[in-house]
Structure 1
Amino acid sequence: MLGAPPSGALAQEAPAHPAASADALETVVVSAQRRREPAREVPLTANVVRGEDLERSGYQSLGDLAALLPGVNYNAAGSGSGQSQVTMRGISTGAQVGATVSMYIDDVPFGSSSGYAGGGSSALDLGLFDLTATEVLRGPQGTLYGAGAMGGLIKYIATEPDPGASTANVTAELSGARHGGLSHVARGVLNQPLRDGVAALRATLYQRKEGGFVRDSNHQNHIVDGLKTDGARLAFLLTPTKALSLRLTALTQKQQRDGSSTEDVSLVSGQPIDSRRTKRLFVGEPVTVRNDLVSLAVKADLSWATLDAISGWQRSRNDGRSDSSALYRPYLAPLGIDAPGYALDYAFYNRKLTQEVRLTSPRSRSLEWLMGAFYTKEAASKSQHLQPLNARLEPVPPLLADARFPSTFRETALFGTATYFLNEGSDVTLGVRRSRNSQHLDLRFDGLFAPAPQPAADSSEGVTTWMATARWRPAPRQALYIRAASGYRPGGPLPVIRNPLTGQPLNQPAYASDSLWSYEAGWKGDLMPGKVSAELALYQINWKDMQVFTTSAGFSGIGNAGRARSRGIEATLRASPAQGVRVAAALSLINAELRDDNLSLGGKAGERLPDTARVAGALQLDRDFALDGHAAYWGASLRYTGERFNTFQQSPANPAYRLPGYTLIDLRGGMELGRASVGFFLRNLLDRRAQTSADTSLSTLGAPARVNLAPPRTLGIQLSYAFN
């Protein structure tokens, strides 16, 4: 629960009505260790953000969620929705080979574990609608959650069907950003019991449209960063007996963005090239992201253990276009290729099957255990198509590059944990996971820049991750813990480039997995029972064999670098000084740096890791009260993020850009009027120009940086109506 105050509550259940309870610091339940337990009992750092709190403040995207949590960084990578990455505790090299934070929908891992399916830049941006909560676990979770969870985990927890009540509600939201267009949200939720207490169906349908606020100076100042998200979720729950339940879920979401929310900025001065919230494009940069998921979760109480079997099938597709004219026009003109502009079309496709089975022991004060098995199979494809365009935006010769990378990834794993209670107030936990993966990669090239034909490549490896914790409860609602845990990202195959004269290989046939060890000590407890609680965690993370993009034998690829280290402090304070009043504050201090000089990254030992603020914090105040007999609320949030750099100072591919620190203030309020409710939110009250991330991949020959901006001051109103 350390890290940040989410909107409305910091990992707490706030009373629905001011008269409901005088104690606002109620118990929050999390599933961080694969069993539901109070967050204050979990020996790690976990945030729980309630879905209701996100909706109250108009927070609706992954970027909004990450902004609430100091030490959690969201990087839109210059391409907007569907081209983003999330990192925690400084575990980032800037351009990521693969994800370092795992994304889960309920108990199903979503996204690719391979380095060839866009997993490092395709964090799941699920619409934050009809969610019970979102759990954010910091630090490596490799033992229970497997590959990719080396920096942490984000788990979206959908609201389950309720077989005991029929409900239906609709919500409409309208908002407008200063200097931008109008946005809207429309959402409907239906919960229908099919048999009282036994079976139910829950359906959610939503649309979110963002008007955008960045204009294109080359195209009559039209707004070019609008976004439309359409989504639906259907869940069926069957509980034929108290000992057996079955939940079938189908989810689909499609996002269509006109372009990224970036402005063109001078690398030297940090000021806009033209004016604020503007950029110059030769060709539009649309992005379409489609995610589909079907999952089946079966839970059976065997008396001696609980059996969970979770099956998932998912499909993801990401299609986009990048205007790369600013790079290729000056680069190709000396070679006699002088087109007006260039477009890079790209696509990622991934089809994934997962199966997990686990047994969990009953609650005990002597020994608790968990054991399980996991299997996944991915079939993915990555493609890039680089083509000159004429003034009418039509492709013209020569074809520069057409590259396709079909790949497969398979992984099997066995895992388990055991907790032994030394006495009533002390326990130790040990955990281990043994994974093995195999991969296959094909390479298909065409065009002027195409290398010689390359044979298919294969790789396989086995990895073991570990976890150990010790916990001591010196008093009720007090806990001290220490934790050591490891995590990893899978390695993968590489095409072997051979010397044309000798036939000898010029590079390695595969890149290895990278891994880290995290050492954490923490305290959780009440300073004043029911009134003030606090949490504190100190950690050190040692990262080795970092996966990086590199150049070998004249070709770009993936390799392993040296070491990095991240040290930090996370602290949270929550208070309820009066009935209906809640205050929360959070602070994150991170010192993440390279330990070895690295030519591929352009970094020197001691240099700070990219996209990592040394200081970040948040403060919030919420008040529930009665107004003319109606339940009402108001609240305010303040968020601060310190300066960061997008890459290393001597990066050969991406010039460094300094992102200044920023502070944002949000307000919210609302009232219940019988079955109806009305609310408002005001985000970025002071209309700050907050630079959240930067892309300089087109800047090596002098093009400006493309800097992502937080939305300007935005005012919104929400109307909801419950039919039952």
Structure 2
Amino acid sequence: MNRIEQSATLPSVPSVKKSKRVILRPLVIAGTCALMGGLSTQAQAQGQGQGQMQAQQSFDIAGGDLKSALDAYVAQGGVQLIYKVDDVKGFATRGVKGALAPQEALARILEGTPLLTRRGDDGAVVVYTAAPVAARPATEEPQSLDSVTVTATRRREPVREVPMQVNVMKAETLERAGAKNLADYVAEQPGVNLTSSGSVGGTLTMRGLTMGPVQGIATVGVYVDDVATGLSSAGANGGNTPLDMGMLDLNHIEVLRGPQGTLYGAGAMSGVLKYVTNQPDTMEFAGSVKFGTSWTQGGGPGFTTAAVLNVPLKEDVAAVRFAAFTDQVGGSYDAVGPARGRKVDRGHTDGGRVSLLLTPTRELTVRLTGTVQDVHRKGLGFEEMDKRTLRPWTRERTRQLSANESFRNLTQLFGLDVEYDFGWARLNSITSAQDVKINNTVDVTGLYGPALSALRVPVASVPINSTVEQHRVSQEFRLTSRSGTTIEWLAGLYLNRERGSNNGAMDANLIAGLGSLGLLTSTQSSRYREEAVYGDLTWNVTPALSLTGGLRLARNNQKYASRQTGQLVGPVAADAAGTSSESPTTYLAAAKYTLSETSTAYFRAASGYRPGGPNVLKASTDRNVVQPTYSSDSLWSYELGYKADLLDRTLSLEAALYDIEWSGVQQPTRSGGFTFVTNAGAARIKGSELTLNWKPSKEWRFTANAAAIDARLTEDATGLGAKAGTRLPHTPRFATTLGVTRNFSLADHPAYVGISARYTGKRDAGYRGSAALPSIMMPAYTLVDLQAGIDFKTFSVSAYVRNLTNRRGIVSIETGLNANPNLVTAALVPARTIGLNVNVPF
């Protein structure tokens, strides 16, 4: 049995190892008290305990982690309290404040959780759960919705208490739906878009903040727990390589919508996506093994194997957790031509994670993590289509290839989080290191082959081989005050060092083994360093009203250098270098008003930015068109929201209206045959979001998410040739997901069946009237998914169907990759996929 926490007024009860005779533990506690004090003393203590629970006392307990709140309750109320750490782990509370009877205060702290209380034989109050959730039959599941805790504001608190839109995707729900990668994760998040790269990752955006497929710097920050990933600059494809993490011992994924610049810094101007992993458990040896198989229409079979092992090293002091998985992807795209093949996008993804947790004292916690993920693909998943009809150029999911394409992404991520609780504040020191290496081959014969043939060069293929490396080391110190006080504050220092490179070569391979012609060899290197101080202050004016202000002061310096040689450059190499520096500031102002115990309204105004950088000018560059440096672009977002748990906590509702003003927009421009970055134009995005979760009975659950976005240029974007009033690309006006799940019992085993539908509205791949990025309207589509499963005592089985009707949906379109202006390259939604998973816990 796990260790039992109790107040200092009770005699210490020694820990015992886990036993099947769980029912004996209350008897052991009662017997110990009886032997030490006698039955008469015990009865007197019980009477005193009841008196304590009836008299009113002053409580000021912050919302957030339930265990911390119960410890504060013991300290402030002087009440004898017993609970199991495992019973309260993972739950959150709204806290309590005011003069209340201890019994009423405890009830408010536990409100919204499945925990119960009873009086122990020794007079102490025992907090307990009737039965483990996993063992509860489906027909006995609680009717009220689960309490969800997030770390969006760098504090653990209920999602309803956070004055911004935060969506939580539980790992269990994602696995049930057959989700395996970033594209699957965000597919059911309206207002969050991922433009496909043909393999993993792509361009990740939120709330319509995108200028198109050419994005040098990310607008969404991606984190693993508190560890930042990716690059802040444009030097090494930082804007198109978000961490695409597999289901590697994830607990849930948080989607923070709107600018998060004060707490998360550069590159979080449209939001943050945070992978939250499972932490080691110092009390219980446990683990699981998972097996899965899938089949995609027109493609090959897929196989997945995963394992997790949690090992306590010393009870309540140290534990280590191991996780590993491998995912074999069958592929579904074909190629014709000299490099023809079937299922050319097949491959595999392998990953491993080790997490060590140390709690040598009550105040000190140390977390050390290491994550490695290796993605291999034989080719890229694109279809060539006719832009006039949006039908396949040859046949579905097929393209012409003259050279084999390949892709590999090796990511290594390490983090160290040292936390010390002073009581009045909590200090965190977070150190992280990231290494990413991407090797990629892209066939551009269709673009350069016709011109070379016209020059009578006997060309067979023109591949581009590139290697991208991203290195990042960061250090953050953060001091966070206690929650629940009149003034709450947070202050931090952030140091970041980044180094990137992008080296490649484009060769024309000649026919009949005549060798190759070096068309272009390019080396690019970049360095980025940033120092920032940040903080926020919350004033709880009344129990209902709170006001928050935040500020982040940053300073960054960048260096960039490049060298190009080859036939396309000429006899003299094109060498260039550049530097830049700037000191951006971001702001936050928010007000939250508690309308009732279960509903809040908020207003939030926040700014965000992406760093600027140097342009590496060539000798032929027109200085009237391109400046030596480009500045950061920035925005202000104004958001009004409402959150509530209604109908006896069976209905959860979140709604938001926002208005974003984006200025100095970074966009590409060309001069002398090279592409640079300039600041030109402005945009305005108006939108609304709605999230509903309804559990009218123990058996039924209904979900709905919707987003409406109107994103337009308010000034001409000269680099893209787009006029004011034109809609921004790749963002639908309306998108929604609807789902229903039915829980039931099958042969006394919990089971479920569910169906969901995802609608994505029309989007433009470019800008109306633009020659640089021409308008191609992508049709709307609706995908239907099915899920079903049954939970046995020793294992569970789940099945899913994604894209049940095998609907053809276009995710993104790229132009300019072929000499034929009517031939474009497109990424499609995955075809119908059927899968089966088996999970064996131990």
Structure 1 residue 488 corresponds to structure 2 residue 606: no
TM-score, length-scaled by structure 2: 0.82
Q: 1:643 — aligned with what?
A: 762
Instruction: Supply the AA of the counterpart residue of 2:831.
Output: P
Instruction: Supply the AA of the counterpart residue of 1:475.
Output: S
CA drift of 1:712 comes to 1.1
Instruction: Supply the AA of the counterpart residue of 2:204.
Output: V
Residues 343 and 554 from structure 1, CA distance in 2 versus in 1: closer, same or farther, beyond 3 angstroms?
A: closer
Q: 1:593 — aligned with what?
A: 712
Instruction: Supply the AA of the counterpart residue of 2:318.
Output: A
SS in structure 2 at match of 1:197:
coil
SS in structure 1 at match of 2:447:
helix
Structure 1 residue 631 corresponds to structure 2 residue 754: no
Q: Equivalent residues in 2 for 1:75-90 (5 A)?
A: 75-77=195-197, 79-82=198-201, 84-90=202-208
Instruction: Supply the AA of the counterpart residue of 2:283.
Output: G
Question: What whole-Å deviation, never above 9, does each CA across 1:477-508 have from its counterpart, x for those lacking one?
Answer: 111111000111111112244579xx988742
CA drift of 1:314 comes to 0.8
SS in structure 2 at match of 1:291:
strand
Q: 1:404 — aligned with what?
A: 523
Residues 392 and 299 from structure 1, CA distance in 2 versus in 1: closer, same or farther, beyond 3 angstroms?
A: farther
Q: 2:423 — aligned with what?
A: 303
Q: 1:106 — aligned with what?
A: 225
Q: Which has the larger radius of gyration?
A: 2
**Is 2:450–2:819's contact at 8 Å kept on the other side of the alignment?**
no
Q: 1:704 — aligned with what?
A: 823
User: Could you say what the CA RMSD is over the residues aligned between the two structures, in angstroms?
Assistant: 1.9
2 CA distance for matches of 1:437 and 1:587? 37
Residues 596 and 87 from structure 1, CA distance in 2 versus in 1: closer, same or farther, beyond 3 angstroms?
A: same
Return the match for 2:600 from 469, 476, 479.
479
**Is 2:144–2:648's contact at 8 Å kept on the other side of the alignment?**
no
Q: 1:91 — aligned with what?
A: 209
Q: 1:250 — aligned with what?
A: 370
Residues 300 and 324 from structure 1, CA distance in 2 versus in 1: closer, same or farther, beyond 3 angstroms?
A: same
Q: 2:62 — aligned with what?
A: none
Instruction: Supply the AA of the counterpart residue of 2:444.
Output: S
1 CA distance for matches of 2:832 and 2:734? 24
2 CA distance for matches of 1:68 and 1:112? 26
Instruction: Supply the AA of the counterpart residue of 2:741.
Output: D
1 CA distance for matches of 2:281 and 2:512? 56
Instruction: Supply the AA of the counterpart residue of 2:186.
Output: A
Instruction: Supply the AA of the counterpart residue of 2:763.
Output: R
Q: Equivalent residues in 2 for 1:105-254 (5 A)?
A: 105-218=224-337, 219=339, 221-254=341-374
Q: Equivalent residues in 2 for 1:387-402 (5 A)?
A: 387-391=507-511, 396-397=516-517, 399-402=518-521
2 CA distance for matches of 1:158 and 1:601? 41
Ranges in structure 2 where 5+ consecutive residues have no aligned partner? 1-111, 115-132
Question: What whole-Å deviation, never above 9, does each CA across 1:238-283 have from its counterpart, x for those lacking one?
Answer: 0111111101101100001122222111011111111222221111
CA drift of 1:221 comes to 4.8
Return the match for 1:559 from 678, 687, 697.
678
CA drift of 1:129 comes to 2.9
Instruction: Supply the AA of the counterpart residue of 2:349.
Output: T
**Is 1:193–1:200's contact at 8 Å kept on the other side of the alignment?**
yes
CA drift of 1:434 comes to 0.5
Comparing both chains, which one has the higher relative contact order based on Cα–Cα distances under 8 Å and sequence gaps of 6 or more? 1
Looking at secondary structure, tell me which structure has more helix per residue: 2
1 CA distance for matches of 2:211 and 2:428? 36
Residues 13 and 396 from structure 1, CA distance in 2 versus in 1: closer, same or farther, beyond 3 angstroms?
A: farther
CA drift of 1:597 comes to 1.7
**Is 1:600–1:652's contact at 8 Å kept on the other side of the alignment?**
no
**Is 2:667–2:678's contact at 8 Å kept on the other side of the alignment?**
yes
TM-score, length-scaled by structure 1: 0.95
**Is 1:602–1:649's contact at 8 Å kept on the other side of the alignment?**
no
Q: Equivalent residues in 2 for 1:267-306 (5 A)?
A: 267-306=387-426
Question: What whole-Å deviation, never above 9, does each CA across 1:332-381 have from its counterpart, x for those lacking one?
Answer: 44445451321111221011101111000001241100000001101110
SS in structure 2 at match of 1:52:
helix
Structure 1 residue 448 corresponds to structure 2 residue 554: no
Instruction: Supply the AA of the counterpart residue of 2:446.
Output: A
Return the match for 1:414 from 533, 538, 550.
533
2 CA distance for matches of 1:283 and 1:454? 29
Q: 2:445 — aligned with what?
A: 325
2 CA distance for matches of 1:665 and 1:310? 42
1 CA distance for matches of 2:336 and 2:556? 49
CA drift of 1:318 comes to 1.0
SS in structure 1 at match of 2:360:
strand
Instruction: Supply the AA of the counterpart residue of 1:37.
Output: E
Q: 1:362 — aligned with what?
A: 482
1 CA distance for matches of 2:623 and 2:776? 40
Instruction: Supply the AA of the counterpart residue of 1:375.
Output: L
Residues 317 and 504 from structure 1, CA distance in 2 versus in 1: closer, same or farther, beyond 3 angstroms?
A: closer
Instruction: Supply the AA of the counterpart residue of 1:470.
Output: A
SS in structure 2 at match of 1:135:
strand
Structure 1 residue 461 corresponds to structure 2 residue 579: no
More moved, 678-687 vs 697-706: 697-706
Question: What whole-Å deviation, never above 9, does each CA across 1:387-425 have from its counterpart, x for those lacking one?
Answer: 11234788512x111111111100010000000011110
**Is 2:139–2:750's contact at 8 Å kept on the other side of the alignment?**
no
Q: 2:386 — aligned with what?
A: 266
Instruction: Supply the AA of the counterpart residue of 2:551.
Output: V
**Is 1:81–1:287's contact at 8 Å kept on the other side of the alignment?**
no
2 CA distance for matches of 1:717 and 1:538? 39
1 CA distance for matches of 2:460 and 2:773? 24
Residues 24 and 222 from structure 1, CA distance in 2 versus in 1: closer, same or farther, beyond 3 angstroms?
A: same
Instruction: Supply the AA of the counterpart residue of 1:715.
Output: I
Question: What whole-Å deviation, never above 9, does each CA across 1:215-256 have from its counterpart, x for those lacking one?
Answer: 112255511111310000001100111111101101100001
Instruction: Supply the AA of the counterpart residue of 1:277.
Output: R
More moved, 144-153 vs 362-371: 362-371
Q: 2:64 — aligned with what?
A: none
CA drift of 1:58 comes to 1.1
SS in structure 2 at match of 1:473:
strand
Residues 55 and 394 from structure 1, CA distance in 2 versus in 1: closer, same or farther, beyond 3 angstroms?
A: farther
SS in structure 1 at match of 2:256:
strand
Instruction: Supply the AA of the counterpart residue of 2:583.
Output: G
2 CA distance for matches of 1:350 and 1:31? 27
Residues 220 and 114 from structure 1, CA distance in 2 versus in 1: closer, same or farther, beyond 3 angstroms?
A: closer
**Is 2:305–2:325's contact at 8 Å kept on the other side of the alignment?**
yes
2 CA distance for matches of 1:639 and 1:420? 41
